[in-house]
């Protein structure tokens, strides 16, 4: 696993620890608070019982409610022994003047049912035998808020991290892109002058060579190489600016690349057949020079992948709706499953003299300049690989 992968796993574990820790800690506090409220409710019930015993069950002891336990901040209801008549209540947040007696009774009964679900009601008994009333109690707003707190906190933190991450990666990407574009433009610019002056020299040499056929052939080769250099410089300058897209016949473009490779393959000592199927009429909006570059890169990789010297590279073009697919299939060594996602990473190469730039450049050309997609459609180690380019018409 690359370092960045390990770092991600580590950060993820750390994030889980923080989330887990926060939730556990809050849960712990909520439990402690609940225990305290339970104690207070019990104490309250006990004092009611104590007063009842002292007064032999007579008299009004609601002052306990009004004065002694003013500090209670959770909702509490006292009912009679049949659990139907409300004797007293606190912290229920109802305005009794706004409701009819009937409605109020209904509301209280619902609340009592809710409270009983949370906590068993506490009995107030006379001489520990006759039940005088029940104390029902719920949860204080503090506990309810506390239950939500970690979620609120964590979502704010998550949102913050998300915004931070997006803006940082945006900055990073545009910086990288600036370097890339700047380098390309500078290189094209620097190459331009010597290439055009060499073109002039070659013309001069041609004139001087007269009818010397051997010399003329060498000069022609030189000229071809120069044209190739000029093409490379042209591609570099295109990648440094926003390229124009034009409707082009894809077969024409690919056939040109095939011709180029057919001239070169004999020098590599390999026997590789290049072919193109279907789609002779399919057109798409592309920048010809840059698209050629992509096809060249894919073909070069396919050629490299055919290690035993004999094989096939086939291009096929088809369209579906407004989309065009160009598949480049080879009978090479294939890509290991574990490398399937890495091949597009700049610098990833399994070759002795590879820069690992071909595919990342191609992906960039297809995805950034053509708004298309480039991906490994299928690859079987030992049998071959198919890359797919998806373009809009």
Ligand X SMILES: Nc1ncnc2c1ncn2[C@@H]1O[C@H](COP(=O)(O)OP(=O)(O)OP(=O)(O)O)[C@@H](O)[C@H]1O
Reading phi first (left if > 0) and then psi (alpha if -120 to 50, else beta), residue 247 is in beta
- Are 143 and 131 within 8 A, CB to CB? no
| Site for Mg ion contains 301 (CB under 5 A) | yes
By CB under 5 A, how many residues form the interface with Mg ion?
A: 2
Residue 112 CA: distances (Å) to CA of 72, 88, 97, 102, 351: 17, 12, 20, 15, 76
| Site for ligand X contains 359 (CB under 6 A) | yes
Say how far apart CA 290 and CA 188 lie, in whole Å: 14
| Site for Mg ion contains 243 (CB under 5 A) | no
Q: Could you tell me which of 234, 249, 328, 228 has the C-alpha nearest to residue 290?
A: 234
Residues 356-375 that bind Mg ion (CB under 5 A): 358
CB 333, min distance to ligand X, A: 6
Length of the chain: 393
| Site for Mg ion contains 385 (CB under 5 A) | no
The one of Mg ion, ligand X, none whose footprint includes residue 279, by CB under 5 to 8 A per kind, is: none
Task: Pick the piece of the chain touching ligand X (CB under 6 A) from 43-51, 261-269, 286-294, 295-303.
Answer: 295-303
Task: Pick the piece of the chain touching Mg ion (CB under 5 A) from 3-11, 138-146, 227-235, 352-360.
Answer: 352-360
CB 279, min distance to Mg ion, A: 24
Task: Pick the piece of the chain touching ligand X (CB under 6 A) from 55-63, 169-177, 242-250, 343-351.
Answer: 343-351
Pairing of the two strands 310-320 and 373-380: unpaired
CB 357, min distance to ligand X, A: 4
| Site for Mg ion contains 332 (CB under 5 A) | no
Cite the DSSP H helix spans in the chain.
3-54, 63, 101-118, 141-209, 213-239, 250-268, 288-305, 358-364
| Site for ligand X contains 335 (CB under 6 A) | yes
- Are 258 and 316 within 8 A, CB to CB? no
| Site for Mg ion contains 240 (CB under 5 A) | no
CB 327, min distance to ligand X, A: 12
Say how far apart CA 18 and CA 11 lie, in whole Å: 11
Among 355, 368, 380, 393, binds ligand X (CB under 6 A): 355
CA neighbours closer than 13 Å in the CB half-sphere of residue 302:
31
Reading phi first (left if > 0) and then psi (alpha if -120 to 50, else beta), residue 321 is in left
**Residues 133-162: x/- map of binding to Mg ion (CB under 5 A)?**
------------------------------
Pairing of the two strands 271-277 and 122-126: unpaired
| Site for ligand X contains 358 (CB under 6 A) | yes
Say how far apart CA 93 and CA 272 lie, in whole Å: 85
| Site for ligand X contains 332 (CB under 6 A) | yes
226 or 357: whose CB is closer to ligand X? Answer: 357
User: Residues in the site for Mg ion, rule: CB under 5 A?
Assistant: 301, 358
Q: Which residues bind ligand X (CB under 6 A)?
A: 297, 301-302, 305, 330, 332-335, 343, 348-351, 354-360, 385
């Amino acid at each position: 696993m690359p370092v960045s992968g390990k770092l991600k796993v580590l950060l993820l574990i750390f994030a889980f620890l923080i989330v887990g820790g926060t939730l556990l800690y809050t849960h712990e506090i909520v439990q402690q608070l609940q225990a305290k409220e339970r104690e207070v409710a019990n104490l309250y019930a006990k004092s009611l019982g104590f007063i009842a015993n002292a007064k032999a069950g007579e008299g009004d002891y609601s002052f306990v409610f009004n004065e002694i336990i003013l500090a209670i901040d959770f909702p509490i209801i006292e009912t009679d022994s049949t659990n139907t008549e409300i004797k007293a209540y606190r912290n229920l947040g109802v305005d009794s003047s706004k409701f009819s007696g009937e409605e109020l009774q209904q509301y209280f009964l619902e609340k009592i049912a809710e409270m009983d679900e949370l906590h068993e009601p506490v009995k107030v008994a006379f001489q520990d035998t006759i039940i005088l009333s029940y104390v029902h109690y719920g949860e204080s707003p503090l506990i309810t808020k506390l239950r939500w707190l970690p979620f609120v906190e964590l979502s704010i933190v998550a949102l913050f991290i998300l915004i931070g991450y997006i803006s940082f990666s945006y900055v990073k990407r545009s910086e990288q892109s600036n370097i890339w574009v700047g380098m390309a433009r500078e290189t094209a610019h620097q190459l331009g002058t010597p290439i055009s002056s060499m073109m002039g020299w070659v013309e001069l040499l041609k004139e001087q060579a007269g009818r010397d056929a051997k010399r003329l052939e060498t000069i022609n080769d030189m000229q071809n190489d120069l044209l190739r250099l000029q093409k490379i410089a042209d591609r570099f300058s295109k990648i440094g600016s926003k390229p124009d897209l034009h409707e082009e016949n894809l077969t024409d473009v690919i056939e040109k690349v095939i011709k180029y490779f057919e001239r070169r393959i004999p020098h590599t000592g390999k026997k590789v057949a290049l072919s193109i199927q279907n789609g002779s009429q399919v057109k798409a909006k592309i920048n010809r020079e840059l698209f050629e570059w992509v096809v060249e890169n894919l073909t070069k990789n396919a050629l490299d992948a055919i290690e035993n010297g004999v094989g096939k590279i086939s291009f096929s073009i088809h369209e579906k709706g407004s989309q065009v697919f160009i598949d480049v299939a080879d009978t090479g060594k294939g890509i290991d499953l574990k490398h399937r996602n890495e091949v597009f990473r700049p610098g990833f190469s399994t070759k002795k003299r590879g820069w690992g730039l071909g595919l990342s450049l191609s992906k960039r050309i297809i995805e950034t300049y053509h708004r298309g997609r480039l991906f490994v459609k299928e690859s079987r180690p030992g049998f071959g690989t198919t890359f797919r380019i998806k373009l809009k018409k």
